[in-house]
Amino acid sequence: MQFLSGRYGTDSLFYAIFAVCVCLAVINIFLQSIILQLVIYAVMVYGFYRAFSRNISARAAENRKFNEFINRFKNQSDIRKQRKADSFHIYKKCRRCGAVLRLPRRVGKHKTVCPKCGNEFSVHVRK
């Protein structure tokens, strides 16, 4: 117990590393690769190194970065779902500035102007 005091412990990055190890180990049941086995050990050692680290602020910063990275994917998929569910609008990206324009879904060819940069382009809406 005294060994664990002052150590960083487990966090969401630790569990993600653990999950990756389990997945790789299952894959390696079929592959029987020594190289993959070494990779699994290396990843495990890294996971435990983090858990037993005394540099708590550095480990917390790593975990924060990891969570930000994961949340970015979550947010993108949420936005994609919202746009798919919106049957009254289409979403087009301006080629000049990259802004996403929400346009009414009217079938046919239309011209639109990007409100951000003034770029005029045509939009073709199929059924």
Contact residues for Zn ion (CB under 5 A)?
94, 96-97, 99, 114, 116-117, 119
Between 89 and 96, whose beta carbon lies closer to Zn ion? Answer: 96
**Nearest-approach distance from CB 123 to Zn ion, in angstroms:** 13
Cβ atoms 109, 123 nearer than 8 A: yes
Between 64 and 96, whose beta carbon lies closer to Zn ion? Answer: 96
Distance CA 92, CA 99 (A): 8
Between 9 and 98, whose beta carbon lies closer to Zn ion? Answer: 98
Cβ atoms 82, 96 nearer than 8 A: no
**Nearest-approach distance from CB 93 to Zn ion, in angstroms:** 9
Distance CA 49, CA 75 (A): 30
